[in-house]
Amino acid sequence: MELCTILRPECTTCATPGSKKKVLELISDLVAAQYPTLSSQEIFESLVAREKMGSTGIGNGIAIPHGRLADIDQPIAILIKCEEPIAFDAIDKQPVDILFALLVPADQCQQHLSTLSCMAEKLSDKQILKQLRKTHDETVLYQVITG
């Protein structure tokens, strides 16, 4: 799957959210701004519900928060580079500075797992991570992750 089919440049940003809750709110607001039929509260609740099952901080400064929404028919991705790393309850107890969030249709479980796996693999590439962490430009951030 081509990442550019689910990640819009407008959903790629550099930010200083400050906390796990604030970054989940930022994700929700970014998506709601691009998809007006979706409620930022509904998105936030979906992400929080998943985090309650266990942190999506996968280690090495990376988190992949995700959730399911009944009102969408295509996955939606969001990429955030935190200018200051945030505590995220990651499995390695390290703060997180790269977040790739994914919202998927409630009835597409297999695609959800496949997309998460693909993203985790991409983010395990040391060269990609180095480029993501080095840039402060959202256009470059988008180009690196979709390239």
pLDDT band at residue 147 under the 50/70/90 scheme: confident
pLDDT digits (tens, 9 = 90+) for 22-37: 999 999 999 999 999 9
* pTM recorded for the entire structure: 0.92
Q: Is pLDDT of 74 > 90?
A: no
Note the pLDDT tens digit of each residue in 81-117: 999 999 999 999 999 999 999 998 888 766 667 777 7
Ordered DSSP codes for the chain: --GGGTEEEEEEEEE---SHHHHHHHHHHHHHHH-TTS-HHHHHHHHHHHHHHS--EEETTEE--EEEETT-SS-EEEEEEEEEEE----TT---EEEEEEEEEETT-HHHHHHHHHHHHHHHT-HHHHHHHHH---HHHHHHHHH-
Let me know if 112 is a catalytic residue.
Answer: no
User: Active-site residue among 57, 61, 63, 66?
Assistant: 66
